[in-house]
A and B are shown apart, each in its own frame.
Chain A
Amino acid sequence: MTTIQEVPQDRLKSPFYSRQAELDRLNRWHEWKGYRSADGFYETALEYFAIRNSTGVFDLTPMTKYRISGADSLDFIDRLVTRDMRKIKPGRVAYAVWCDDEGQVIDDGTIFHLRQGEYRLCAQERHMSWLTAAAIGMDVSIVDETHDIAALAVQGPTSYSVLKNLGLDGIENLKPFGLDNFDFAGTELMVSRTGYTGDLGYELWISPDKAEALWDALFEAGKHHGIWAIGTEALDQARIEAGYIGAYIDFLPAHVTIRSGRSRSPLELGLEWLVDFKKANFNGRRALAEEKRRGSAWRLVKLDIEGNKPAHHSYIYASKGGRGKEVGFITSATWSPVCKQNIAIGTVRTPHGKVGDKLFVEIYYQREMHWSRVMAEATVVDKPFWDPQRRRATPPGPY
């Protein structure tokens, strides 16, 4: 008789898992590229306020990380992404997007210039196939180091004080989008002043065998600075306030779209500042130049919406009575506690969505099982909803 063997199906556990599991009160986990990742540990609002008022710690380990080196590494990266990577010196980090041949965004991420000619590309999605194709004809090595590096985001106004307490001498000199290496228990700890919250914050990168020790030391250093572990839900709220977009939420990676017109160009995602047409060549250049000449079909908008009901998945109209004439839809929405605003990120057809335009969103909401609908006025805004001075201040102040 054949016996069916049980195949282990548990998700990967981050090297911080043992510590997270101790703190966890909710037991709500989701899958993120094979890893267990927490929706939250205590309560979303509490974790959210940790980010905004003290320090929140988010486990970034499942983020895809590639080490890119070799004689042609700069040429490789410069052709891969739309921005000019020649300007990104060693010790600096760049936010970047990369496109397919048609100028449609595959993903966005951060690129760390670790040392001369050596980079780390960090993104939400996996990209080995595309990177391998982009390396054809170049002397470059691409190594997936996703599982070899444990990473934490340490975000919030007291994060600087926490890291100072941790004994990272010189952290005060680290500028936004800068990176530096420190010694932690005899191991190299890389710290970058980057994040996904739009606030003062850092990301810590270390070998997995030192992960637990780092977590313990960090929480010890932050015990008087309101340090909390946070999950994805709180982080998501913070990133909408910062006006940051998310793959699979605000845009679909070009490689997963099937229908034409469902992918987006960087110009359509409000990322024109990342596209440098002065560069000799980069993926999507021809298509993007053509799009710039002809005009884009879509525009990503940040909306300030009246009322307090989050406009999840709402249609956007050009006029209040505009049923049947929707011009777009909301992709991210939340009530922003810190801004006291009902905010959202959406996509509208051009020419709608210019800064200052008044649009209308159709919000459905449920009260005791019954559905109601409201047409709320929404104003297109330019700046991020949340953008405090301390995010840029160097040295950051102690809080």
Chain B
Amino acid sequence: MNERYDVCVIGAGHNGLVCASLLAKAGKKVLVLEANDQVGGAAVTRTFADGFSVSACAHLLYQLQPQVRKELGLKFELSGDAIGTIALSPDGKHVRMNGKQVTGTSDEDAASYRDFCRRMTRFADLLKTYLNKTPPRLSKDASKADFLTLGQLGLDIRRLGRVEMQELLRIIGMNIFDELNERFENGVLRGALSLDAVLGTHLGPRSPNTILTYLYRLAGSHGTISAPAGGMSTVAEALAHCARDRGATIRTGMPVKRIIIENGRVAGVQTENGEQFSSRLVVSNADPKSTIMCLVSTRNVETGFARRIHNIRMRGNAAKMHLALDGLPAIDGVEEQEYGERFVVAPDDVYVERAFNAAKYGETSDKPVFEITFPSFRDQSLAPDGKHVMSAIVQYAPYSLKEGWSDAARQSFLDTAIDCLGEFMPDLKQKIVASEMLTPADIEKQFLITGGHWHHGELALDQFLFTRPVGGAQQYAMPLDGLYLCGAGAHPGGGISGAAGRNAAREILKREKAA
């Protein structure tokens, strides 16, 4: 017999859990079905070698929306807060950044950096307001509320003041390379900032709209980075706890096979093992492509919509490297106590752009760029005594690798990455006990994200706000009665932010009340 629920949530990613919690809080009977054995989706801690654990996909927290924390009463322990960044330079003249402060550059650059941060955080704050709202419709169905939101957006931009408004409109579609080159003479600083703008995307610093991706990164806590104790599963478990506390049922190891559709509307879900669950509403935390192409099947939606979904750009480019280490590798010019910081290998912006060049042609970068942390330095629970873990995002490793992602291709990219790091960490190779490289193809398979793209779709102006995931479906409701999206593929996008899950829950409750 089918179990009946009000809402089935597909996927216990952090957004799915946020959404489930809020729906359960509003009195809905909620079932969350997670394919993997752990909750959290891409926010999980996993053991990758005997005694060594690591946040297997997302590894730093900088976007979790304060609204989400507050509304859910979310509490978890941090192993590090206000984590600074050390941008490594081959000549040892590293640049250190924390908040609006930068050291290791000229005084002019430092002053310019303060000004840059001030302006960017101001724009990011404006953006943040709208990340936490349902985007307005622009179609003929637009309601009064849509026009109000749109009007408010216009007004908020105007209220920046004439100069700032012009500046925002000047740079919002621009590439970060030009902006950084106008401001800073220090290449290492430019490299580090441009890396922040392109992490997890199929973009280089010279690609248009990399200012937007940079602002998006700041639109949570102004870029303040923290790390949960015990890795990302701590956040996921805390969210799952919230959901269960409010009455939601969470079942792991239950991959959903399809969304059941009856008489042109959703009627529940069927899992791979054949179990069926009835519900009037289905909320998918899966990416828009898997939701529509696999779970719903294109034949149950309109052709134009299916085409738009099909054409969403979501080619992952970021690989995740995990190294189990005998001890911390020496880094020239870095003090022992600084290993809790975030390290960046992107010696200048042209270097980052060149790394991206290969990806355009389906090749991996010869000289990839890195975002590196040693989580075990802050959090002893992740590695055996005296040993350490390195967690690094390595770019670029295109999802559609020309030669295909074989074991050999993966090994070769791992070797390239380790060799590259050897330049900064001469004794790294000797310290490696075990290693793991997750290519976008692996990320797709293990975390069930089409294209292995963290954001569930490139964060670009044409896939943002009114047109995320696609035009006509920006308000979480899909053009199939009863089906909603609540993941990163919906507005506003990826990162451990919870905004999509929260917005979706609010929209669902609003529509349910109106119906």
Do residues A134 and B303 form an inter-chain contact, with CB atoms below 8 A?
Answer: yes
* Chain A residues, Cβ within 8 Å of B263: 280
Some 8 contacts from A to B, beta carbons below 8 A apart, are: A79-B299, A100-B302, A101-B472, A134-B303, A136-B310, A280-B300, A281-B300, A285-B264
Query: Which residue on A lies nearest to B293, using beta carbons?
Result: A137
- Contact A280 B304, CB 8 Å, known A136-B310, A137-B298, A138-B298: no
Would A100 and B299 be within 8 Å (CB), given that A136-B310, A280-B264, A281-B264 are in contact?
A: no
Which residue of the partner chain A has the closest CB to B263? A280
Interface residues of A in 259-300 (CB under 8 A from B): 260, 280-281, 283-286
Q: Is B112 on the interface with A (CB-CB < 8 A)?
A: no
Q: Which residues of B contact A285 (CB under 8 A)?
A: 264
Is B157 close to A, CB under 8 A?
no
Q: A334 vs B307: C-alpha distance in the bound complex, in angstroms?
A: 42
Q: Which residues from B are CB-within-8-Å of A284?
A: 302
Task: Digitize B251-271: 1 where CB-to-A-CB distance is under 8 Å, 0 elsewhere.
Answer: 000000000010110000000
Checking A75, A136, A138 against B307 with a beta-carbon cut-off of 8 angstroms, the contacting residue is: A136
- Given A280-B264, A286-B479, A137:B302 Cβ within 8 A: no
Q: How large is the interface on B (under 10, 10 to 19, 20 to 34, 35 or more residues)?
A: 10 to 19
Choice from B264, B293, B304 contacting A101 with Cβ under 8 Å: B304
Chain A interface residue bracket vs B: 20 to 34
Complex: A80 Cα to B306 Cα, angstroms:
13
Using CB atoms, name the residue of chain A closest to B304. Answer: A101
- Specify which chain A residues have a CB less than 8 angstroms from the CB of B261 in the assembled complex: 280-281
Interface contacts beyond A100-B303, A133-B306: sample of 6 additional A-B pairs, CB < 8 Å, sorted by A:
A75-B299, A101-B472, A101-B479, A133-B307, A136-B293, A283-B304
B181 on interface, CB distance cutoff 8 Å: no
User: Which of B298, B303, B306 has the most chain A CB within a 10 Å cutoff?
Assistant: B303
Q: Does B144 contact A (CB under 8 A)?
A: no
Instruction: Indicate whether A365 reaches chain B with its CB closer than 8 angstroms.
Output: no
Known contacts: A101-B302, A286-B264. The answer to whether A137 contacts B479 by CB under 8 A is no
A248, CB-defined interface residue at 8 Å: no
B298-316 contact mask (Cβ, 8 Å, vs A): 1 or 0: 1111111111001000000
Which residues on B sit within 8 Å (CB–CB) of A130?
303
> A308 vs B354: C-alpha distance in the bound complex, in angstroms?
76
Nearest Cβ distance between residue B294 and chain A, in whole angstroms? 9
Whole-angstrom CA separation of A138 from B310 in the bound complex: 13
Which residues does chain B contribute within 8 Å of A136, judged by CB atoms? 293, 298, 303, 306-307, 310
> What string of 1s and 0s marks CB contacts (under 8 Å) between A127-163 and chain B?
0001001101110000000000000000000000000
Chain A residues whose CB sits within 8 angstroms of the CB of B140 once the complex forms: 260
Structural contact, A137 and B297, CB atoms closer than 8 A? yes
Rank and list the top 6 A-B pairs by shortest CB-CB distance, nearest first: A137-B298, A101-B302, A101-B304, A133-B307, A134-B303, A136-B310
Convert A185-208 into 0s and 1s, putting 1 for each residue whose CB lies closer than 8 angstroms to a CB of B: 000000000000000000000000
What chain B residues lie within 8 Å of A75 (beta carbons)?
299
Task: Knowing A137-B293, A137-B297 are in contact, say whether A283-B307 is a contact too (CB < 8 A).
Answer: no
Q: A286 to B302, Cβ gap below 8 A?
A: yes
B300 A100 Cβ-Cβ under 8 A: no
Provided the pairs A281-B299, A285-B264 are in contact, do residues A100 and B304 lie with their beta carbons within 8 angstroms?
Answer: yes
Q: How far is the CB of A353 from chain B (nearest CB, A)?
A: 24
A281 to B299, CA, bound (A): 7
Q: Nearest Cβ distance between residue A265 and chain B, in whole angstroms?
A: 14
Cβ distance B299 to chain A, nearest Cβ, rounded Å: 5
CA distance A130 to B307 in the complex (A): 9
Select B303's contact among A72, A80, A260, A286, beta carbons within 8 Å.
A80
In the complex, which residues of chain B have a beta carbon less than 8 angstroms from the beta carbon of A137?
293, 297-299, 306, 310
Chain A residues near B307: list those with CB within 8 A. Answer: 133, 136
Establish whether residues A283 and B299, one from each chain, have CB atoms under 8 Å apart when the complex forms.
no
Q: B102-159: which have CB < 8 Å to A?
A: 140
Q: Restricting to B273-330, which residues have a CB under 8 Å from any CB of A?
A: 293, 297-307, 310
User: Does A283 lie within 8 Å of B264, measured CB to CB?
Assistant: no
Q: How far is the CA of A75 from the CA of B298 in the complex (A)?
A: 11
Residue of A nearest to B294 (CB): A137
Within A232-262, the residues touching B (CB, 8 Å) are 260
Q: A61–B472 Cα gap in the complex (Å)? A: 39
Within 8 A of B (CB), among A165-189: none
> Which of A72, A79, A136 gathers the greatest number of chain B CB atoms within 10 Å?
A136
Q: Is the CB of B299 within 8 A of A101?
A: no
B299 and A138 contacting across the interface, CB-CB below 8 Å? yes
CB distance from A73 to the nearest CB of B (A): 12
Chain B positions 454 through 469: 1 when the CB is less than 8 Å from some CB of chain A, otherwise 0: 0000000000000000
Closest A residue to B262 by beta carbon equals A280
B297-A133 in contact (CB<8A): no
A310 to B479, CA, bound (A): 45
Closest B residue, CB atoms, query A72: B299
Tell me the chain A residues, 23-53 only, with Cβ under 8 Å from chain B: none
Cβ contact of A283, chosen from B297, B302, B310, B472, cutoff 8 A: B302
B306 partner residues in chain A, CB cutoff 8 A:
133-134, 136-137
Taking CB atoms, residues of chain B closer than 8 Å to A79 are 299, 303
Provide the bound-state CA to CA distance between A79 and B261, in Å.
15
Docked pose: A101 CA to B261 CA in angstroms = 19
Bound complex: CA A286 to CA B346 (Å): 51
Q: How far does the alpha carbon of A260 sit from the alpha carbon of B298 in the complex, in Å?
A: 27
CA distance A11 to B43 in the complex (A): 62
| B426 → chain A closest CB, angstroms | 51
The answer for the CA separation of A390 and B374 in the assembled complex, in Å, is 87
Taking CB atoms and an 8 Å cut-off, the chain B residues in 167-199 that contact chain A are none
Chain B residues near A101 (CB, 8 Å)?
302-305, 472, 479
Nearest Cβ on chain B to A356's Cβ, whole angstroms: 33
Min CB–CB distance B309 → chain A (angstroms): 8
CB distance from A98 to the nearest CB of B (A): 9
Interface residues of B in 362-388 (CB under 8 A from A): none
A133 nearest CB across to chain B (Å): 4
- A284–B264 Cα distance when bound, in Å, is 12
CB distance from B171 to the nearest CB of A (A): 33
Which residues does chain B contribute within 8 Å of A280, judged by CB atoms?
261, 263-264, 300
Q: Which positions 386-423 of chain B face chain A at CB distance < 8 Å?
A: none
A138 / chain B contacts, CB cutoff of 8 Å: 298-299
Residues on the A chain within 8 Å of B479, using CB: 101, 286
